[in-house]
Amino acid sequence: MAKYVDLSATIQVIGCIYQNISLLDNENYFFSEDDFTEEFHKILFGSIYNLHALGVKDVNINTIEDYLKDRPKKLAVYKTYKGAEYLQKITENIQLSTFDYYYQRMKKMTLLRMYNNAGMDLSWLYDINNILDAKKKQAQEDWLDNTSLESIADIIDKKITEIRMKYVDDTNENFIQAGDRVTELIDSLQKRPEIGYPMYGPLINTITRGARLKKFYLRSAATGIGKTRSMIADSCSIACDKIYDSVQGKWIENGTKEPTIFITTEQEIDEIQTMMLAFLSDVNENHIIYNAYEIGELERVMYAAELLKKCPIYIKKLPDFSLKDIENTIKFAINEWGVRYVFFDYLHTSMKILSEVTSKTGIKGLREDNVLFMISIRLKDLCNEYGVFIMTATQLNADYLTAQQYDQNLLRGAKSIADKIDLGMIMLKTSKEDKEALREVIARFKFDEPDIKISVYKNRRGQYKDILLWCKANQGTCKVIPMFATDYNYQLINLPDFKINVNPKMQVSAF
């Protein structure tokens, strides 16, 4: 028999849901096949659950048996255990008012059982073999009943983390004399300068030195400017080893394929996919959506589709997210696919995160700026903990319409977000005043007239800040191409186009 099982809790849960199937509509309750250790219980619960999914509002013995008729093996188990009598009996012995208690207890047992199945000895936390020490047993039961599911997981994870910190990460090395290993640092930077994987487009890598591991970038914009599309370009440029170049009329090599995840909070997955196809193939997204291909475009899009299948780029939809959801998504991507580049589109509050933060802090009515700041802190912490690069975005407040300085004061919700980032940028449309002020520069150097400007207002450990990158954008193919740079007074800056070589596979640093 499996360890960490409370059959009475399991029976109560099945009985309550059988009596009141609307409990399955409550988003606070979720179920897994792993919650049930007995095949008979899996069949009972699974039948009720699937009938509910099919739209059945009133589940009874007849509907369950009708459902099982087409599943002879499961029906045989049901009959062996006298399913009809069993359901009748538990119906007489359950109280709906106790459902939450038994649900929580069942889920706690599932959690402990999964850790145990993974090879962990949890007797230090909950010793199921203790049968002689009545006081200890009662204390254990009281602890289990009064400790939340998340807290139990946190206690176990903390134990694992402590072991890792002591025997892998060596936390005793936190304090050093300032000169310790400094010559080794210089030597390391000579061999491996602090640069990351190149981002898409010219000039941008001169400013950013690429997408650097353990760094947190923020590229904000007003609605419709291209936050998502520019992140699509960077994520595909990092994860895919070929991009179509319409100027050369061919697919060009694009370095290596680095595992990357794109987390979308508002757009559907197929919307992200069509943008990725448009970027890679250099075919306007509308041509893909409306099946209005020009000569040669369909072939390029199909080739781009094959690239997406072969390249290590992943998409996750998180429409209503918590801090824990973000962290678990990133951790899963790291462990499952070796992801090192994370794009989170985009930073905003949600009902779930408000509930989570309120629960953790015990403070009701937290302002949006407090919550957004907490999210940014956690994202930066994740960069350092897991050695990954994270880029996200925010909306702008209404001040951007009249602003003369484009910095963190324009971030909607909380300018404090910028405290934790390593690189801060703001994308805006060029105004009539911009075009007039740039007329002489454009004429002298034969630049195209820009339609997007990117303000770089923060650049930790970087040479270039408080500058404007003037760009030509093609929203249909998700491409924003920087052409030249000025200061905020429209004075041209001599900005070299720094190239990062990624062929062969580069060794990026993670300072």
The residues of the chain that CATH labels 3.40.50.300 are 195-493
Contact criterion met (CB below 8 Å) for 321 and 352: yes
Q: Which residue did the predictor score with more confidence, 297 or 266?
A: 297
Q: Which residue did the predictor score with more confidence, 344 or 363?
A: 344
Question: What local confidence, expressed as pLDDT, does residue 506 receive?
Answer: 46
CATH dotted code for 7-119: 1.10.860.10
The b-or-e profile of 17-49 (16+ CB within 10 A means b, else e) is: bbbebebbeeeeeebeeebbbbebbbbbbbbbb
Contact criterion met (CB below 8 Å) for 320 and 351: yes
> What number is the average pLDDT over the span 226-254?
94
pTM for this one?
0.69
Q: Lowest mean pLDDT: which of 271-275, 276-280, 323-327? A: 323-327
CA distances from 175 to 161, 164, 170, 214, 386 (A): 20, 18, 11, 20, 21
On whether the 195-493 domain is CATH 3.40.50.10160, my answer is: no
Catalogue the long-range contacts made by 37-40 (C-beta closer than 8 Å, 24 or more residues apart).
Answer: 37/1, 37/2, 37/5, 37/10, 37/113, 38/7, 38/10, 39/77, 40/77, 40/78, 40/80, 40/81, 40/83
pLDDT band at 362 (very low <50, low <70, confident <90, very high): low
Question: What local confidence, expressed as pLDDT, does residue 461 receive?
Answer: 85
> What number is the average pLDDT over the span 75-99?
92
> What number is the average pLDDT over the span 198-226?
93
The residues of the chain that CATH labels 1.10.860.10 are 7-119
Q: How far apart are CA 100 and CA 207, in angstroms?
A: 54
pLDDT, tens only, 169-189: 555 555 666 777 778 767 766
pLDDT, tens only, 402-442: 888 888 888 887 788 888 899 999 999 999 999 999 999 99
Q: How far apart are CA 464 and CA 85, in angstroms?
A: 76
Question: What local confidence, expressed as pLDDT, does residue 508 receive?
Answer: 42
The segment with the largest mean pLDDT, out of 113-117, 486-490, 502-506, is: 486-490
> What is the rounded average pLDDT for all residues in the chain?
88
> What number is the average pLDDT over the span 198-225?
93
**Furthest-apart CA pair in the chain: how many Å?**
90
pLDDT band at 20 (very low <50, low <70, confident <90, very high): very high
Q: How far apart are CA 176 and CA 172, in angstroms?
A: 10
